[in-house]
Amino acid sequence: MGYIEETGAAQHMRDARIAAIYEGTNGIQAIDLVQRKLPLSGGDAVRREFASMRATVEQLRVNNTAAFGAMAVRLTEALDALEHATQFIIDALKNAPDDALAGATPYLRLFGLARGGTALADTALAAHRLAADGDSDPAHADRINTARFFAENIVTAAGGLEMTVVAGAASIHAAKFAVAI
């Protein structure tokens, strides 16, 4: 028996055990982002990343094609949420480090949404340029549609994640005591 057996129950056990490992890894990455990466070079590294993302959104606005839908608007909202949450985390690291750590995992997700959305937007912009230059590859429309879908359906979670980062610490601290009882 071991890793393979006939009923399938062992797979459920393995899946349940690996989920905790995945979540722990995400938590470690979130803590690393908050405690080590954000303060890197006095915050210059993250500011450069934000500038790069803002430049992509500005290119979306300049192109202003209907195929992009509300990508620029949704990504702007996500970047605003990310920058607000980032400022909260930076301030909390100085004054209330436990609050910064309480928001680390949703902050990592928020950063991933904003960066993922702008990376897909870069791909959509490139596909749009190629199509405008006469490249007839049908995959260009798919790349644009994928980026638009992500921006209009997935990135919209950014505002909720921002709220969790900025205002969720108190409930986490309270729950910690409730569970300890």
| Catalytic center residues | 23
Furthest CA-CA distance within the chain? 67
How far is the C-alpha of 92 from the C-alpha of 103, rounded, in Å? 10
End-to-end CA separation in angstroms for the chain:
40
In sequence order, which residues have a C-beta less than 8 Å from that of residue 131 and are 6 or more positions away?
137, 140, 141
Tokens 């690996």 locate to 18
- Dihedral in degrees, nearest 10, Cα atoms 14, 17, 23, 24: -130
- Dihedral in degrees, nearest 10, Cα atoms 123, 126, 131, 132: 140
- Other beta carbons within 10 angstroms of residue 62's beta carbon come to 9
